Amino acid sequence: MPFPQTEVPGRLQAELMSRGLRMTRQRRTILSVVETAKQHLDAAQILRHARKIDPQIDRVTVYRTLALLKRHGLIDELDLMHMQGEKHFYERRPQRDHIHMACLRCGKIMEFESDLFDRLKGQIQRDCQFHIVVTRLEVGGYCSRCRTAKPD
């Protein structure tokens, strides 16, 4: 569910190279992990997956590569309402922004695209004369399966 299947693998690598950045073995590995991820991964999970491909990779390189991708707007950083500690999660930046909903009971993460959200961003840019670079809308609550039995 995280990523649209219409995306071509290797797009991140192509983007970085077109920006004149060096394509190292480690970066290729980390990029492929991020690109093929089936859920939102944190830095430690990305490291673990990358080490299955290249066991020598250091966690510092993962942090640096994620910072690079974020700086170039190729990935988005998520907090997922801090439900799993203070980790940050990452996903390839989609063509269209989406909302992340986190169920406070079962922990499920759902995604939702909305025309109202797009219009809201337009309103912000217009009414506040604010040039939007990145947005993060996270919602905590109870999913349909959990809402009948909410705690206190």
- How far apart are CB 8 and a second copy at their closest, in Å? 26
86 binds a second copy (CB under 8 A): yes
Q: Kindly determine how many residues on this chain lie close enough to bind DNA according to the rule CB under 7 A.
A: 25
How many Å apart are CA 77 and CA 91, to the nearest integer? 7
Q: In what order do the strands lie in the sheet with 75-78?
A: 41-42, 89-92, 75-78
Q: Among 6-14, 20-28, 51-59, 96-104, which window interacts with a second copy (CB under 8 A)? A: 96-104
Binds 22, which of DNA, a second copy, Zn ion, none (CB < 5 to 8 A, cut-off by type)? DNA
Number of residues in the chain:
152
Q: Classify residue 61 by its DSSP letter.
A: H
Which of 96, 92, 100 is CA-nearest to residue 136? 100
Contacts to a second copy by CB under 8 A: 77, 79, 81-82, 86, 88, 99, 101, 103-104, 110, 112, 114, 116-117, 119-121, 123-124, 127-144, 147, 150
